[in-house]
């Protein structure tokens, strides 16, 4: 296919607005998959994705569709066939880096909005990601079969918030099939073809990678310029490693070897990579011995999102945008990653940390093995060994966000049978000592209370949160955000019934229980999304929990000074209920250094 007959697009939506269902319908409509394969959502492949109904790893699928431009054209021949690459993006933006990389390979996006729920927080985030990536946006009002659907209201919201013309929107039901016949013609007619040059030296964008038991490391790539053939030798711009391409083709939706990928195509390659750690999302691959400019890193802001899964747990998401200030603060920790930006990919930035320990101390080796195998497929988790007097030998793990952490835990348990204890999640704080040195603290227990080295200043990461709620809940949400040390940045209405608010909040305040609380005070109607903001100076203290005078390292936390008293009291009261009765007295104390804030016996 010449590139003018190729279209690369993705589907973006707020959680549950019907993205995966729509993708399935398009695959069925083009005959790529058969109706009712028994697997309700074809593109979501991991078990955890099926169970939670979320997309974690981006998948791609290629389909073919015949189409004649313009109506009324009488054509005796078959209409020309187009090659359409649907690049699935994770809906939850723990994986926002994957989203922005996926979007970098697209020229257009279908923005799916639920006809009853209307614009939600992630719709806003996704719209701006696509808009900043200069994509052609096709608005799709989905679920019009629902009795509460109100497409006109949603069209008005899209117009007032994003200036999207109601005439450009398509009304669909991915459930009944209504309106779906207009989707692919709109993709072909409105979305530009990929702009690359077929005569230029090969440049491919690495979109995703995973480890397959039989084939080894499989990379999904978008060919930006030039062409790739089986047997070619390729190099990575990030690592300078060279590989031979053993197999190349596209996903239709299973592997379809073609021996070649041309300009504008999206497909898979199998080369001699030993681990997915060598395949860095966002990297540029080129022919060995040819010198090319690496593909640019998109400057799109990266968003984090909180959402609720079926079990009602709340998760947070992740952030990537890096402001100059932030680089300044982190320069000593992240020089390598900032340098890495210059070759077109950005390594994972870990925003949530927790300790992982085997539930039974003797299982350490088994857990170690399970973690090694799982990180083969998820190179974005950082792992270091740590030990705790309370819990024994274990690991300190860094995650992109709370959802990412939870998915990792669940996969460890489900796929590797590991039984684990994890400590309360914490965020990366920065502390400055009287001798001028700065440290990033990922484990509160390691924050030194050495009197010779006084803490002189501390910083904590913050986020800019977007909250959309029915107007009657505005008061309750304002109260919640101010309790969580939030600062209101914006407050407006998207229509007569819905308020839109922006807050700056400390990340720490939202990773623990914010979304649950937000949902409960708004009867489930709030939608929430956040993006990275700067670090801010903060008054932080280390709160120790002591049992019979001995600090329990696994329970140490870092809290804001003003909240220490309350958090300490709550913790000791909870512990009193949890610790079994003994024949002797046990004192439970919360303390900052030598100062005891709360005590129970």
The residue nearest ligand GTP at its CB is 91
Q: Is 13 annotated as a binding residue?
A: yes
Dihedral angle computed from the Cα positions of residues 353, 359, 365 and 366, in that order, rounded to the nearest 10 degrees: -100
Q: Which residues contact 31 (CB under 8 A, 6 or more apart)?
A: none
Task: Decide if residue 53 touches ligand GTP (CB under 6 A).
Answer: yes
How far is 162 from 494, CA to CA, in rounded Å? Answer: 11
Nearer to ligand GTP, 63 or 501 (CB): 63
Tell me which of 7, 19, 287, 411 binds ligand GTP, using CB under 6 A: 19
d(CA 92, CA 511): 15
Q: Determine, following the binding rule CB under 6 A, whether residue 10 of this chain makes contact with ligand GTP.
A: no
114 is in an annotated binding site: no
Which range in 50-58, 74-82, 99-107, 239-247 contacts ligand GTP by CB under 6 A? 50-58
Nearer to ligand GTP, 24 or 534 (CB): 24
**Does residue 57 interact with ligand GTP by CB under 6 A?**
no
- 145 annotated ligand binder: yes
Nearest-Å Rg of the Cα atoms of the chain is 25
Q: How far is the CB of 331 from ligand GTP (least distance, A)?
A: 36
126 binds ligand GTP (CB under 6 A): no
User: Given candidates 5, 16, 313, 457, which one binds ligand GTP under the rule CB under 6 A?
Assistant: 16
Q: Cα separation of 285 and 204, whole Å?
A: 5
- Could you give the CA distance from residue 127 to residue 113 in angstroms, rounded to a whole number? 11
Pairing of strands 498-506, 455-470: antiparallel
Do the annotations mark residue 143 as ligand-binding? Answer: yes
**Least CB distance to ligand GTP at residue 20 (A):** 3
Question: Residue 516 CA to chain centroid, in angstroms?
Answer: 19
In angstroms, give the least distance from the CB of 345 to ligand GTP.
25
- Determine if residue 88 is labeled as part of a ligand binding site: yes
Q: Which residues contact 430 (CB under 8 A, 6 or more apart)?
A: 329, 330, 438, 439, 440, 441, 458, 459, 460, 535
Site for ligand GTP in 161-220 (CB under 6 A): 173-175
Q: How many CB atoms lie within 10 A of CB 59?
A: 25
151-162 and 121-132 are packed helices; what angle lies between their axes, rounded to 10 degrees? 50
14: annotated binding-site residue? yes
Q: Please count the other Cβ atoms lying within 10 Å of the Cβ belonging to residue 486.
A: 24
Interface residue with ligand GTP, options 3, 10, 12, 13 (CB under 6 A): 13
| Residue 143 interacts with ligand GTP (CB under 6 A): yes or no | yes
Query: Would you call 376 helix, strand, or coil by DSSP?
Result: coil
- H-only helix segments in 191-296: none
Give the 3-state secondary structure of residue 141: strand
Q: Could you say which of 3, 8, 18, 309 contacts ligand GTP (CB under 6 A)?
A: 18
Site string for ligand GTP, 84-123 (x = CB under 6 A): -------x--------------------------------
Residue 404 in the binding site for ligand GTP (CB under 6 A): no
Rule CB under 6 A: choose which of 3, 20, 60, 62 binds ligand GTP. 20
Q: What is the DSSP string of 468-517?
A: EEEGGGHHHHHHHHHHTT-EEEEEEESSSSEEEEEEEEEHHHHHTTHHHH
**Whole-number minimum distance, CB 472 to ligand GTP, in Å?**
26
User: Minimum distance from CB of 482 to ligand GTP (Å)?
Assistant: 31
Structure tokens at 486: 């939030």
Min CB(10)–ligand GTP separation in Å: 12
Q: Which residues contact ligand GTP by CB under 6 A?
A: 13, 15-21, 53-55, 91, 142-143, 145-146, 173-175
Q: Mark the binding-site residues for GTP, compressed into ranges.
A: 13-20, 88-92, 142-145
Q: Mark the binding-site residues, compressed into ranges.
A: 13-20, 88-92, 142-145
């Amino acid at each position: 296919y010449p590139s003018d007959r190729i279209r690369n697009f993705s589907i973006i939506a707020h959680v549950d607005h019907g993205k995966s269902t729509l993708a399935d319908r398009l695959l069925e409509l083009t005959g790529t998959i058969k109706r009712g394969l028994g697997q309700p959502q074809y593109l979501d492949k991991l078990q955890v994705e099926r169970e939670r109904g979320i997309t974690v790893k981006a998948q791609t699928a290629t389909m073919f569709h015949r189409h004649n431009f313009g109506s009324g054209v009488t054509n005796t021949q078959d209409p020309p066939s187009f090659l359409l690459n649907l690049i699935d993006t994770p809906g939850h933006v723990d994986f926002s880096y994957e989203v922005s990389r996926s979007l970098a390979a697209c020229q257009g996006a279908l923005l799916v909005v639920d006809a009853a729920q209307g614009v939600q927080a992630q719709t806003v985030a996704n719209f701006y990601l696509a808009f900043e990536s200069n994509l052609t946006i096709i608005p799709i009002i989905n679920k019009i079969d629902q009795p509460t659907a109100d497409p006109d209201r949603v069209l008005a919201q899209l117009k007032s918030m994003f200036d999207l013309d109601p005439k450009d929107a398509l009304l669909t039901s991915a459930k009944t099939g209504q309106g779906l016949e207009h989707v692919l013609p709109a993709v072909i007619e409105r979305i530009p073809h990929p702009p690359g040059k077929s005569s230029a030296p090969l440049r491919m964008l690495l979109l995703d990678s995973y480890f397959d038991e039989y084939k080894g490391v499989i990379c999904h790539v978008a060919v930006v310029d030039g062409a790739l053939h089986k047997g070619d030798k390729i190099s990575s711009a990030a690592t300078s490693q060279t590989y031979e391409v053993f197999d190349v083709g596209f996903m239709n939706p299973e592997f379809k070897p073609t021996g070649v990928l041309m300009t504008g195509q999206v497909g898979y390659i199998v080369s001699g990579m030993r681990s997915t750690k060598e395949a860095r999302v966002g990297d540029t691959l080129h022919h060995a011995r040819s010198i090319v400019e690496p593909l640019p890193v998109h400057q799109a802001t990266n968003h984090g999102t909180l959402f609720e899964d079926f079990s009602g747990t709340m998760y947070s998401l992740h952030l990537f945008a890096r402001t100059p200030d932030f680089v300044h603060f982190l320069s000593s920790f992240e020089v390598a990653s900032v340098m890495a930006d210059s070759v077109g990919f950005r390594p994972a930035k870990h925003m949530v940390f927790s300790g992982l320990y085997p539930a039974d101390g003797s299982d350490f080796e088994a857990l170690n093995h399970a973690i090694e195998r799982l990180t083969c497929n998820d190179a974005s988790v950082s792992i270091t060994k740590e030990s705790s007097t309370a819990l024994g030998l274990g690991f300190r793990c860094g995650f992109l966000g709370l959802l990412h952490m939870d998915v990792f835990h669940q996969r460890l348990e489900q796929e590797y049978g590991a039984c684990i204890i994890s400590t309360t999640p914490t965020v990366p704080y920065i502390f400055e000592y009287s001798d001028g040195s700065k440290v990033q603290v990922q484990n509160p227990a390691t924050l030194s209370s050495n009197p010779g080295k006084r803490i002189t200043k501390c910083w904590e990461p913050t986020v800019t949160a977007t909250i959309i709620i029915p107007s009657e809940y505005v008061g309750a949400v304002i109260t919640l955000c101010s309790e969580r040390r939030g600062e209101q940045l914006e407050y407006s209405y998207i229509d007569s019934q819905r308020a839109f608010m922006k807050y700056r909040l400390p990340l720490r305040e939202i990773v623990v229980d914010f979304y649950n609380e937000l949902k409960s005070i708004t009867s489930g109607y709030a939608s929430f999304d956040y993006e990275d903001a700067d670090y801010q100076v903060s008054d932080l203290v280390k709160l120790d929990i002591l049992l019979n005078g001995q600090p329990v390292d696994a329970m140490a936390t870092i809290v804001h000074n003003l909240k220490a008293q309350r958090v300490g009291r709550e913790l000791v009261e909870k512990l009193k209920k949890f610790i079994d009765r003994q024949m002797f007295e046990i004192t439970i104390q919360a303390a900052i250094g030598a100062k005891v804030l709360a005590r129970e016996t």
